[in-house]
Amino acid sequence: MAGTLKQCPNCGYKISGGFFSGSYFWVNKCNNCSRYFCFTCNGSNGGKRCPHCYSEKYSKYQEVNRV
């Protein structure tokens, strides 16, 4: 395992303080196309579906921690 991610591999979102009150968020991996997305990715419907193929079958991949 390569440890935790620093940003979303898809949209590049990262926690750097400000409006997001948590200290981490989840990057999900699509079970259909094996690509990654998070809750801020365009078209992910808040992280509830894959913005690439619109599948709603995904699993949690890694946490992105506050930098």
Query: Minimal distance in Å, beta carbon 37 to Zn ion?
Result: 5
Dihedral of the alpha carbons of 54, 56, 58, 64, in degrees to the nearest 10: 70
Please report how close the Cβ of residue 47 comes to Zn ion at its closest, in angstroms.
Answer: 8
Phi, psi of 14 (to 5 degrees): -145, 160
Question: Closer to Zn ion at the Cβ: 5 or 11?
Answer: 11
Residues binding Zn ion (CB under 5 A): 8, 10-11, 13, 30, 32-33, 38, 41, 50, 52-53, 55
| Strand spans (E) along the chain | 24-30, 36-37, 58-65
Nearer to Zn ion, 5 or 8 (CB): 8
